[in-house]
Each structure stands twice: as structure tokens, then as C-alpha cells.
Structure 1
Amino acid sequence: MHIVFVSREYHNSKRGGGIATYLHDLISMILDHGHQVTLITASDDTRTNSIEVEGNFTKINLEGGDFIIPQVEPGMITMKKFRIFFRFFSYRLKVLREVLKLKNVDVLEVSEFGAESVFFKNFDFPVVYRLQTSSLLDRNNGGVFKFRPKLIPNFFTGYFEKRVLSSADYLTSCSYSLKDWTSKYFNIPADKINVLYNPINLKKWQFQRTEESLASTKILFVGTVSYEKGVGELVEACKILKSKGIDLTLTIAGKLGGYGKNLQQELKDEKWCEFLGHITKKELNTIYESHSIAVFPSHWEALGLVTLEAMFSGALVIGSAEGGMSELIDDQETGFLIQPKDAVTLSHLIEKVLNLPLPEKSRISKNAVQQVIESFSDKKIVPQFISYYQQVVDDYHANSKAK
């Protein structure tokens, strides 16, 4: 098959997050199965176009994106932040034109996030809409944002996200939690949405977890450092434990942003807390295996690939009970679940995990690794994607002939 992906972000982009990781892993594994893949994405420098070809993979980097990365395009930052409005349609027309240039496409997948498919219609191939997380989803309560002036960009983009999904024939979701949210708030029939978990590419990771590492008091957070990710509550929980005389360290790895930079400044004199900023997967490999506990106390999360990465490293994972993480962790068996937004309760759970006997830590660690291999690995998930794409292609052409 020739499978096309359209995405606002991708691997090594300075804007890269969970969607970028999902696509990089999925594309690399689809290529391993012998299929052809084309990716249409936005250049970090919105002044440049480029095309990269490697074997069966073509990556098209488009100019004119509706975002700004200050360190890439300095100057007039305030004005450039309005690109979401004055470049919204022009960039999506560029995406459409690139799609129309492609030959022998079997199926195209595009995320609902960003509504990049707003002009898609009347192709001679099917379009799969991948639910990743709408601009309207309020991670603080798992609902929809209440209107505030600073959220106008979310409501502007969210309007078009909702519109494109209303006419979609083929929908997938990265979790049941996000499927339920979309069905409820966007009025999409639940039976139209197929859940295909984001796969983890096990070949990317070479962990050498030791029992000694599980006995350490090194705590880790990986991901965008934001309020909604619960990083503030994690820091407060660690402060509580430090006040009780527990000699722990906290490593925070991921993009900072305004909230993260303020938190970093607040903790600049605290030697027990280290901010690493954005790091590579190779660096992250060593970081995972050297920490005993990984904590992801998000207020709400569609899935959380870092949760699977940490579990596969053998870390003792504490994840949020709200959203998709609850579908990944078997509480007390492969990790631990906690209700978010409560630093005191989180401190109690971290202390409990730190004080577990080493054989119990080892049992949970091994269970987590095995669960990832059996339920979320590339060998398990990628064939499900390929099978789904083929079913969509067959269904699309069968319906086209019937018309």
C-alpha cells in the first residue's frame, strides 16, 4: 500500500510531542512491513520548503505554517503569534495541493488536531481521521474548555476540527477514553470510532535495568512541562517527602514553555530537582533505566506514550487515573494509578512505592515490561493498523462501485 500521513508535527521538530512520536514509530514500522509512506508536515522554519526521500519514505516539509518558533524565526514575535488566524486557510490549501500532487495513494491518515483536513473532499482514496486530542479538550477536567479570550485560538481551530469529524467516514482513536470524549462532546456515534493504541517501537530501546536502580530514590517525569501535566503537584509532593527527611531527586525531562521556565526559575536553588529540557531518545534511554520511579500525574491524558516507554524500561510507574493512562496500567500489578491534582496523596503513594520490598518492586517492574511486550508492542499493534487500512481501502472502493 501507499499510505499518506498529514501531520502538524513530526520527529525532531522543535514542536514535536506525542503525535510526532506516534507517527515516527508507526511510519518506521510500516516501512519495515514493505509499504510505501509519504508524510506531509510543516517546516519548523515556515519560510522554507524541502523534500526528503529515503527508500520508500518521502517527507514533504511545507512552508507557511500557522505557528511561530521564536528561536527559529526571531523578530516581531507578538505579530507572528497571530498566524493561527491569518495563515490558517492558506497553509491548509498548501496541504491540499501537496496531497493532490501524489500518485497511486491507497489511504491517507490525518489527525483531527489542527483541522488540517478542512479542505479535503472528493479524493479517489479514503481518508482516516486519527483522534489524538482536540484543541477544545480541557485537560484540567476532561471536558470542554469554557470560553475565555485567551482561548480564542482553541475555539477557532476546534470549530473546524468538529466540522471535519462530523463528515468523516473512517475514524480511529488512540484510546477508549478519547473515543468516549469525542463521542460525547462532538456527537460522533461511538460505533464509528475504532480504537487502535499507539504502538511502541521496542527496537528503539535497549534497557539494562538492574535491581539496584529500583532501590534508588531517583524520580523521573518525562513530557511537556505544563500545569495540565501535573508537574506542579509532583514538585510539591517531592517537597513534602524532602521535608520528611527522604533523600530523593527529581529529574524533569521535556519542553519547558512559559510554565516550565517559571517552575525552573522557582527551583533554581534546589539541587535535588534538575530540568533537562528537550532531550533525544538516545539520552532518554539511559535516563529511564537509571530512575526507579516515573511519575505522570496528568490531569487528563488521551494516552501517554511516555507511560509505555517508562513501563518498558522497568521503572515503577505512577500514572493518572483520568484518561488513557488507566488503560495502560494495571494498578498494583504493572504500576500504580492515582487521582490527579492532589500533591499530598501523590506524596503518600511515592513514599509507599519507595518503601516497597525490593522483590515486590522487581515483580511489578517485570510485569510492566511483559505487559508492554504482550499488549502494546509493534508486533502486536502495527498489524492491526495495516489490517485496518486495508479494510478501509476495500470498504471505500466497494462503496464507490455501489454508487
Structure 2
Amino acid sequence: MNQNVCFFNSNKAWGGGEKWNHHFSLLLRDKGYRVFVVTNHDSELKKRLENEPGITLHSESIGNLSFLNPAIMRRLKYFFQQNDIKTVITALPSDIKSGGFAAKCAGVSKVIYRRGIAVPVKNSFLNRIIYSKVVDRLIVNSLETKRTVLAANKNLIDESKIRLIHNGFDVAEFDKQSSDPLYSKSGDEIIIGNAARLTAQKGQKHLIEAAEILKKKGLNFRILIAGKGEMEEELKEYSAKHGVTDVVDFIGFVKDMKSFYMSQDIFCLPSLWEGFGYALVEAMTLEKPVVGFEISSNPEVVKNEITGILVPSENSLQLAEALEKLILNKELRNQMGKAGRERVLNKFNTPLVLGKLIDLIEE
């Protein structure tokens, strides 16, 4: 067993990547690995791990140019050497630069870069050095992420170094979690949920436009939008502009996501791109049919017309039509919901994903 593994994630905020690092650091600890985690000062990941037994933390003020800071690089190199780190798993472009270079200088056996966003990598001189000389293995969380990594330069990294490992979802833990619906619906209204950062990427404006179309048709529905972000006020104004404030509720940050999914009949994620639609998997686990755009990794998560409905990107009319189809057909909602949970169990369940990660660490 390659005992000493270090996760390296300098993001201060909490998102899908941090959730992955948190979850799999604990799973590897429980498998007998000595687990270390490098974070940024005052990061949410650090806060959630600092009281966990068996996890050794180290924090730095990491930014995009930290690899040019001799003091930071010396401290990281010393940390890796002192703890006899054998594998480093980095999360961000800034992490593979600072953590990756320091790990190589410290003699770490394997440097892994996990890329979880389907955005092209610039074909810069520095990136060519990093991907050819620093990265020993590249984890991509979807085939779309792999495609975008190689989009600007198909020779950026040897394909033999790339491993497809989906994000993974712990169905057993989710099933055990005790929750009650956070919203009590009125009569036979259909609840449509959305959970994401309130940013342009997540496409909530298209959901608001779809709500206007559905409202004009006289359908009995309500949309619950969970999350915070820089576009919150803009989206609320957009909702008012389209006359749907009576059917669209912004409910803010939701800690108990299971209670949120339990409250809804349909889950809609109209993102313009996704590295891996984690929220889609969560909703599918609770047998909710899902609706979104046919973009990036969504077709890998959602089996169109089987576990949900995917429509052309940024097409609010077709988004509304897909939602209407499900609003009016309870049997179809149930059928797609059951198929969605089955897909999660067979494709994204954590034990399957953890096994692939351990194989990569040990290979």
C-alpha cells in the first residue's frame, strides 16, 4: 500500500471540488492510508477537516503565482519530505503549479492533477511543461473534461496518463441521512428544484424564462432555487421583470440538500457547462427526473428520455416544454426517477469510484 497521500486544494470557497477532496480524504483514511491535506488559510475545506482524526492539515496562502514564491515553495517541499508523501493529488491550476513543482523537488513518487471542469487548457509554454514534466497522472471526471483538456493541443499530455474517474456519490450514506422535506407543497402543485451557485454559468435566467412560459399556460407549479452567488439580486430582478416572483422562490444556501430534493418532483439544472453535474446525481439518487441542457458532461450523467430530458443549450422554450412534459405526466416522472437511481448505483456509486482511485494511487 502506498501509505502517505496528500490532497492539495487551495480554494477558499466550498464547491464540488472541495466536496470531492473532503469525501475521498476521509474514505482513504478509513482504508488505512495516512492522509494529509494542504489547504488555504481560512478555507472552508480546512474548517471541515480540522477536527477529523487521522487527517494532518497544512495551510498556506496559495495563489496563481505562489510557485514563484521561494518561501512558500520551501515550506511545501519540507512538508512533503518530512511526512514522506508518496502521492500528491492537486485540485486547481494554481495547485498543480505550486504543489506540483514542490512535490517534484521533494521527490514525491506520483503527482496527480484532478481536473473537474470542462474548460479548455491554454496551450501555453508553462502548461506544456506542467502537463509533460510535472503531472504523472491526470484524473478527468468526464469524457467532456478530457476533450477540453486536449482541445487546444492534442499532444499536451500523453493519453496513457489520463484516467476517467467520475466524481462518485455515496448512495448508502445519503440513504441513511435522516431528513424531512423543507417545503410543504400546496395541493397538487408540482415543485421544480434548482441548486447551484447563482452565476451566469449555472443558467438560472433560462429557468426563469421557462417559468414565464409555464405560467402563461396556467400550469400549477413552483420553482425553488437554492444557492447564493454574485447574481442573486440580478436574478431576483429578472424574475420580477418576467412576472414570475409568485412562482419562483430564492431560498438561499441549503445545508441539508436531501431535504431539498425530497421537497421536489422535478430537478432542473440549466447550466451552460459542467465538469460533472453533481447535483444531477444527487437528485437522481432520490428518484427525481432531471432536466437540463445537452452540454458538456450532462449526456454522460443523464440518459436522455430515460432518466431525464436534455434539450439544446440556452433554449428556454424547449426547457419549458421538457418541464411541461414532466409536470403533466406523473407516471413518466416516476419511471424516469427509478431509472435515474439505478443509473447512479451502476455508474457513480462511491465504492466503484473509490476502487478506481486506489488503483491509480497503487499503480
Q: TM-score, normalised by structure 2?
A: 0.84
- After TM superposition, give the deviation of residue 159 of structure 1 in Å: 7.3
Matched to 2:145, the amino acid is L
1:274 aligns with 2:249: yes
Deviation of 1:45 after TM superposition, in Å, equals 6.9
The total of aligned residue pairs comes to 343
Q: Report the counterpart of residue 316 of structure 1 in structure 2.
A: 289
The one of 384, 391, 395 equivalent to 2:356 is 384
Answer yes or no: is 1:291 the counterpart of 2:264: yes
Amino acid in the other structure paired with 2:130 = V
Map Cα deviations across residues 255-297 of structure 1 (whole Å, 9 max, x no partner): 311x2331124436813212222221xx211011111111112
CA contact (8 A) 2:25 2:35 kept: yes
Alignment of 1:96 onto 2:81: no
- 2:222 aligns with 249
Query: Which letter does structure 2 place at the counterpart of 1:164?
Result: I
1:109-151 CA deviation, whole Å, 9 max, x = no partner?
11243344343323232111111237xx3xxxxx67xxxxxxx
Q: How does 1:108-257 map to 2 (within 5 A)?
A: 108-118=88-98, 119-120=101-102, 121-122=104-105, 123-133=107-117, 137=119, 163-167=129-133, 168-186=135-153, 187-206=156-175, 216-257=189-230
Aligned equivalents of 1:274 and 1:346: distance in 2?
Answer: 19
Please list the CA deviations of residues 41-64 of structure 1 after superposition, one character each: whole Å capped at 9, or x if unmatched: 112379x999936332123333x3
> What is the match of residue 61 of structure 1?
59
Report SS of the residue matched to 2:139: strand
Q: Is residue 4 of structure 2 the alignment partner of residue 2 of structure 1?
A: yes
Tell me, yes or no, if the aligned pair for 1:131 and 1:172 is still in contact at 8 Å: yes
Cα offset for 1:32? 2.6
Q: Displacement of 1:209 after TM fit?
A: 10
Call closer, same or farther: CA 1:262–1:24 in 2, change over 3 Å. Answer: same
Note the residue ranges of structure 2 that are not aligned, 5 or more in a row: none
Q: How much does 1:178 deviate?
A: 0.6
Q: Answer whether contact 1:234 1:343 (CA < 8 A) is retained.
A: yes
Tell me by how many angstroms 1:93 deviates. Answer: 3.0
Which residue identity does 1:124 align to in structure 2?
Answer: V
Query: Does the CA-based 8 Å contact 2:326-2:332 persist in structure 1?
Result: no
| C-alpha distance in 1 between matches for 2:298 and 2:57 | 31
- Residues 8-39 of structure 1: per-residue CA shift (max 9 Å, x gap): 23xxx6x1111011112222222232222111
| Cα distance change on mapping 1:102 and 1:354 into 2, 3 Å | farther
| Contact kept in structure 2, 1:230 and 1:340, CA below 8 Å | no
CA change 1:125–1:42 in 2 (3 A) is: same
Alpha-carbon spacing, 1:277–1:182, altered in 2? closer, same or farther (3 Å): same
The 8 Å contact of residues 316 and 364 in structure 1, kept in 2 or not, is answered as yes
Give ranges in structure 1 of 5+ residues lacking alignment: 67-83, 138-142, 145-154, 392-403
Question: What letter corresponds to residue 3 of structure 1 in structure 2?
Answer: V
- How far is 1:378 from its partner? 1.1
Q: Root-mean-square deviation (CA), in Å? A: 3.1
Q: Residues 276 and 43 from structure 1, CA distance in 2 versus in 1: closer, same or farther, beyond 3 angstroms?
A: farther
Could you tell me which residue of structure 1 aligns to residue 34 of structure 2? 36
